[in-house]
Amino acid sequence: MNSLETKIDEISFIFEGISRKKLELFFQLSDSILKAKTVCLYKVTDEAFGVIRSKSFESCYQKILNFFCTGLTDLYLYSIFSLVVYLFGNPNEVHLSIDRTTWKVGSRYINLLVIGLVYENICIPLIWQDIGKTNKKGNSNATQRFLLIDELLRRWKKTNVALPLFEISGDREFIGDKWLVGLEERGIKFVIRLKESQKFHVWHKRTMSAKKVSLKSLAKRIQGKQKAFTEIVTESGYIVKLVIIPNTERNASKQPFLLLVTNIDAELIEKIQQKFGFRWSIECCFKHLKSNGLDLEKINLEADHKIHLMVAILIFLYALCIHKGIKRRNNRSKKYKNATVSPARSIFRQGLSELKRAIKNYYDLVITTWNILKEISQITSNKFIFKI
């Protein structure tokens, strides 16, 4: 057995249930996508031809298509999930961000509902589902979100990493009595933005108001009393905190404050503001996966399991880029007109450049992955025992 086969066998600990041959093809395909900078399979095949054993371009393309026809999609999804947990998880507290990203493939809309893990204000997707269009806007509903949340918890338990305290942030789509109550029942803390048009009963002096109050008028009342929060009541009688924070977005001149609902101690205003700020990291992640790095929108696969498998490959590469970028980052920054400060070059872009310099062929990708796993683990009897 050569050195490469040995490393693939050791890496297979995290890719449990996937044969060495399939895993080698996974790395060959991942390397080709990285070089092609797109998921368009014709362009990927240009890079893969000569790497994946095949007699012609057409047979190489067919081998790549066959990879996506596998019945092992769930194993790959769980493996990438585990990798993200081992690289970026925290045994004590983990912040999650939830959002959707949509694009069109031919006549079909892909509408991915995604939950990502936030690490140093960078979001790495953990789990996703194409929910299609449930209404004109394609918004998600509580049932779809809980299917994803419960699957996330199930997969996390399978990693043998202790369940941390989970917190989740989301924008105005991710609201509703059933959703908030369900998060509370699952022991998950939340910070969710509300729509100003919504109305709630107010909990004041141990009694609930007879009529619902609009958030806009309620916000004015809170500010008039120089308070930052109050308690409101959802349809089922669940009491949560309404918190007002300054708006640091570009539309701050039109809307100087944001209204958030949370089950976190409302006295910790700065902490709540920081946790809601984590939400924006998932938007940056979508940008990197799509237009600013890995070209996800050029996907030319249509079956759900094929799309999920391609997304898993991109998350694998994205996770490696983030790991590399964090290690090699520079602290140069630029200031925007709204006074926010951001890195001059994103951690992802730094990591992508570093990864592409380090990898000349798929052998290098295997070795890079092996080295990264070795950093966060110890090898005992040819198996990785993770230190998390």
Mean pLDDT calculated for residue range 82-109: 90
Beta bridge partner(s), residue 262: 191, 241
Percentage of residues in the chain having pLDDT higher than 70 = 88
Task: Give the pLDDT confidence score for residue 381 in this predicted structure.
Answer: 47
- What is the C-alpha separation between 315 and 323, in angstroms, rounded? 12
Q: Identify the band that residue 164 occupies on the pLDDT scale cut at 50, 70 and 90.
A: very high
Task: Give the pLDDT confidence score for residue 339 in this predicted structure.
Answer: 54
Task: Give the pLDDT confidence score for residue 334 in this predicted structure.
Answer: 57
Segment (H or E) for 274: helix 269-277
pTM (2 d.p.):
0.90
Q: Identify the band that residue 215 occupies on the pLDDT scale cut at 50, 70 and 90.
A: confident
Report which of residues 331 and 3 the model is more confident about: 3
Res. 355: pLDDT tops 60: yes
Residue 314, both tokens: 């991109």
Give per-residue pLDDT as tens, 221-272.
777 666 778 888 888 888 888 888 877 766 666 677 888 999 988 677 778 8
Residue 240 contacts residue 226 (beta carbons within 8 Å) = no
Task: Give the pLDDT confidence score for residue 387 in this predicted structure.
Answer: 63
Mean pLDDT calculated for residue range 13-19: 89
Domain parsing of the chain, residue ranges: 3-71+317-386
Give per-residue pLDDT as tens, 276-333.
989 999 999 999 999 888 999 999 888 889 999 999 999 999 999 999 999 887 666 5
Res. 180: pLDDT tops 90: yes
- Residue 115: CB atoms within 10 A of its CB come to 22
- What is the C-alpha separation between 373 and 312, in angstroms, rounded? 18
